[in-house]
Amino acid sequence: MADPTNYHIVVIGGGGTGAALAYDLAQRGYRATLLERGELTSGTTGRHHGQLHSGARYAAGDRSIARECMEETRVLMRIAPEAIEYNSGLFVALTAEDEAFAETFVESCAEAGIPTERLSAEACLRLEPGLNPAIRCGVRVPDGTLDAWRLPLHFFAAARGHGALIRNFAPVVGIELDRTGVRAVRMRDLRSKREEEIGCDLVINAAGAWAGQVAGLAGVSLPLTPAPGSMLAVRKRLTNLVVSRLHPAGDGDILVPQRGLSIIGSTQWQTDDPDDVVPSDEEVEFLRESAVAMVPGFAEAPYQAAWAAVRPLAGASVDVEAGRALSRDFVTIDHGKNDGVGGLVSLIGGKATTLRAMAEQAVDVVGGLLDVSRECRTAEYVLPSHRAYYRNHATEPERSA
Amino acid sequence: MSERNRTVAVYRNREVGFQEFTVPENERTTVLDALEYIRARIDPDLMYRHSCHHGSCGTCGCAVDGKFVLSCLTRLGDLEGDVVRVEPLPTMDHIGDLAVDPTKFFEEFPEGLTYLRPSEVNAKAERPEDVAEYTRFENCIECGLCVSTCPVTADFTGPAALAAIDREIEKHPEREDEMLDLADGKRGAAACERALNCSRVCPTGVYPAKHIAFLNRKLGKRRAAEKE
Ligand SMILES: Cc1cc2nc3c(=O)[nH]c(=O)nc-3n(C[C@H](O)[C@H](O)[C@H](O)COP(=O)(O)OP(=O)(O)OC[C@H]3O[C@@H](n4cnc5c(N)ncnc54)[C@H](O)[C@@H]3O)c2cc1C
Ligand code: SF4
Ligand code: FES
C-alpha cells in the first residue's frame, strides 16, 4: 500500500465539486492543490437555484439518484447546518393531472427512502397562506434552501485546514504529458500574469461545463454540451418552504425562498459557449408566470435579478428531453482506462447537494489508481464556518458530526 | 428587447489606470454582465469577484461611478452618463483589476457567530411538527460595502462585524456579555462617528449604524450596572 503524502493531486475547477474534492483529498492525506480560473464558485456552483434536494424531485425518474440526495441531505444537515435553511418543501397540485401524479410521487419517494406527508389544499394553505388558493392538494418533503456560496466555502475552509492549497484567479492553460500520462499542469497566474508549471502525480478535472475544454488540454475528447438554465429572483420572501409543482420534473416549477428573496427556476437550453449565458425576455416572462401560478404574490414583488447557470450535458448531440434525464447523475471517468492518458480523472455532473458524495466516489477511484487505501471520513466531521476560509482556518478544532 | 452599446471603463492597475470596453446592453444588463462579456469576448485575464449573480453571496462589491454597489444588481440602464466607471473596493487588499482579498474584512468577525435567524415570514401560519422553527440566513451578505463607505479613519472593528455581534445578542441573549466584550474598547462600537453611510449603502437592509447604536446603549447600561 502506498502513502498518500507521497502524491500531489491537482484539482482543476473551484466549484462545489472541486471544494469537496480538495477537502476529501487533504483529509485522506494527499497533498492537494486546487486551481480555479476566477473567483471560487464563479462557474455554475454560485449561481445555482439554491435548493437542498431531498431527492423528491427525482424520485419518479430515478430512485437511486433520489436516494443519494436524501442521504446527502442528512449528511449536510450534520456537517454544515449553518449553510441550510431547513424548512422543508411542498409539492403542490394545480391541475387534475398534477393531482393524479400524487400517488406515483409518494410511492416513488417511499421507494427512495424519502419521507412524505400528503396534505389537503386547506392544510397546505395553513402552512403557506401565500399559495394559490386554487391548489388541489400537496405533498410535503424534506427539501431546504442552500447558501450556494457559503456551503462550498465550508468545504474550502476544511480543505485549507487540512493543508490543501487553494488558488483562485489561476486558470489552467495546459496539461503536460509524458509516456505514462500527466506529469504537470501549466497555470496562468492572473495576479502576476506569469505562467507556472505545477508538477503532479494526478489531475482531477472538476471543471463542470468547462470540463470538455480542460480534457482537451490533455488531448482527451470529452464531449459535453453546455446546457444553461435561467432563474428569476424577486425582492420579497413569499414562503418559508420550497414550493414545487407536483408533476414530473420540468421547467419553471420550483420556487426557492432564500433570505428576503423568492427565486423561481429554471429553464434549459443548449449552447456552444458556457461563458455566454444570459436569460432571454421570453424566459423571464415564462418564469414569472410559472411562479405566479403557484404563489400569486410573486407578481407584485420587485425585480431583483435574472441570471443563468450552466449544466454539463454528456454527449455532444443529446436532445433536451434526453438531456434532462441524463444530467442529474454524476460520473467519474478514468482517462487512463478510457483514453490511454494516465493520471487524469474527470468528475462531472451531479448536484450541489451531492458534492460530498461525488468527491468520495472520485477519491476512491484515485485511491484505486494510486494503490492508497484510506477511507473517506468527510461525513464524520462538522465543517468549519464559511468565514473560517478567510480567517485562522487551521486553528478550528475538528468536531464529530 | 432593445440592444445598444455602452462604454465601460474598468480600473486595471496603477500603470494603465482605466481601460475602456464597449459592451452590448439591454434593460436587464448589469455591470457584472458587462464584466462577464469583457472576460469572455475581449480579455480573458480580467479579474473580478462574483458568484451568485443575484445579491446573495456578497462577493461582487465595487465602486460604480463612485458609488459602492453590488455589480450584479446594478443595471447599466439605471446609470447616467455615456461611460460607466468601475473600480475595486478601496478598503480591502487589491489583488488585480477589480478583485480584492476580503481576508481583513472577515478577520473582524469573531468566531462562533451564527448565520441563521428565525424567519419573520407568515409568523402566524401553522408550522409542521418536525420543523422546530422556520429559519433563514441573516440579511448581511458580508459584501463589505459598509466598511468601504465608513468615514472613520481610526482603527475600527467596522460596521459589518459590529452589526453581526449585535444580531447575535438579539438572537441569543444569553451570549450578551461575551458579545459586548467584543464590541467594547477603543476600536469597538465607541469608535463609530454616526455618519450613517453604512446604513445607506447596505444592499440588504441590515442598518449597521442602528446596531452599533444598540451596542453602545447596551454597553452604557452594562457600565452603569457595574458601577452600582
Ligand atoms: C440552472 C441550474 C440550477 C441548479 N439548481 C440546483 C439546485 O437548486 N440544487 C442543487 O443541488 N444543484 C443545482 N444545480 C446543479 C449544481 O449547480 C451543479 O451540480 C454544481 O454546481 C456543479 O458544480 P461543479 O463544481 O461541478 O461545477 P462548477 O461550479 O461549474 O465548477 C467548475 C469550475 O471550473 C472552473 N474552470 C473552468 N475552466 C477552468 C480552467 N481552465 N482552469 C481552472 N478552472 C477552470 C470554472 O470557472 C468553474 O468555477 C443546478 C444547476 C443548474 C444549471
Ligand atoms: S452590513 Fe450590509 S453593507 Fe455591510 S457587509 Fe453586511 S450586507 Fe454588506
Ligand atoms: S455576485 Fe453574489 S452578490 Fe453579486
Confidence at residue A313, expressed as pLDDT on a 0 to 100 scale: 83
Q: What is the pLDDT of residue A399?
A: 83
ipTM above 0.85, yes or no: yes
What is the residue with the minimal CA distance to atom 8 of ligand 2? B143
Mean residue pLDDT of chain A comes to 94
Question: Which residues in B lie closer than 8 A to residue A129 (C-beta atoms)?
Answer: 122, 125
CB-count burial class (<10 Å; 0-12, 13-18, 19+) for A398: middle
- pLDDT for A319 equals 43
Q: How remote is the CA of residue A24 from the centroid of ligand 2, in Å?
A: 32
pLDDT in tens, A297-342: 999 999 999 999 999 887 644 344 443 334 347 889 999 999 999 9
Work out the average pLDDT over A176-197. Answer: 97
Distances (CA, A) of A121 to A131, A256, A264, A335, B128: 10, 20, 21, 52, 15
Q: Give the model's pLDDT for residue A1.
A: 85
- Average pLDDT in the A119-130 region? 98
- Give the pLDDT band of residue A40 (cuts 50, 70, 90): very high
How many residues are given for chain B?
Answer: 228
For B171, counting Cβ atoms within 10 Å of its Cβ (0-12 exposed, 13-18 middle, 19+ buried), the class is middle
Strand intervals (E) in A67-181: 84-85, 89-93, 117-120, 137-141, 144-146, 165-167, 172-177
Indicate which atom in ligand 1 lies nearest the CA of residue A170.
43
Q: In which band, very low, low, confident or very high, does the pLDDT at A391 lie, cut at 50, 70 and 90?
A: confident
pLDDT beyond 80 at A65:
yes
pLDDT at A320: 40
Average pLDDT, chain B: 96
Phi, psi of B96, rounded to the nearest 5 degrees: 155, 135
Q: Specify the ligand 3 atom closest to the Cα of B60.
A: 4
pLDDT higher than threshold 80 for residue B58: yes
Please give the model's pTM, rounded to 2 decimal places: 0.97
pLDDT interval class at A110 (50, 70, 90): very high
Q: Which amino acid is at B63?
A: A
**Tens digit of each residue's pLDDT (9 = 90 or more) over B20-44:** 999 999 999 999 999 999 999 999 9
For residue B109, the chain A residues in CB contact (below 8 A) are 387, 391
Q: At what angle do helices B208-227 and B159-171 cross, to 10 degrees?
A: 60
What is the percentage of chain B residues whose pLDDT exceeds 70? 99
Collapsing DSSP to helix, strand or coil, B44 comes out as coil
Percentage of chain A with pLDDT > 90?
89
Handedness of CA A40, A43, A45, A50 (dihedral sign): positive
d(CA A368, CA B3) in angstroms, rounded, equals 54
Please tell me the distance from the alpha carbon of residue B121 to that of residue B168, in angstroms, as a whole number.
20
Closest-CA distance of chain B to residue A107, Å: 21
Residue nearest atom 7 of ligand 2, based on CA coordinates: B140
| Alpha carbon of B225 to ligand 3 centroid (Å) | 43
Amino acid A324: pLDDT: 39
CA A274 / ligand 1 centre spacing (Å): 11
Task: With cut-offs at 50, 70 and 90, classify the pLDDT of residue A396.
Answer: low
* Mean pLDDT calculated for residue range B47-70: 98
**pLDDT 10s digits, B140-158:** 999 999 999 999 999 999 9
Which chain A residue has its CA at the smallest distance from B39's CA?
A: A275
Where are the extended beta strands (E) located within A168-318? 172-177, 182-189, 194-199, 202-205, 224-234, 242-245, 254-258, 261-265, 303-314
